[in-house]
Amino acid sequence: MMQETGFQGCAAKEFFDSFAGTTKEGIARKYGVRGANFIAYKI
């Protein structure tokens, strides 16, 4: 998806549980929702 918008060198560098400690943690785990930090550049 990132490359389709013109970004290059796209890579997910870190994944994390963005809903940990919230009231929606159980739902996020049920559906596999998590956060990610990406690195990319656009010319």
* Contact of 9 with 40, CB cutoff 8 Å: yes
Note down the domain range covering 25. 3-42
Total domain count, the chain: 1
Question: What is the C-alpha to C-alpha distance for residues 23 and 15, in angstroms, rounded to an integer?
Answer: 20
Model pLDDT, residue 35: 95
- Calculate mean pLDDT across residues 22-26: 96
Q: What pLDDT score does 33 carry?
A: 95
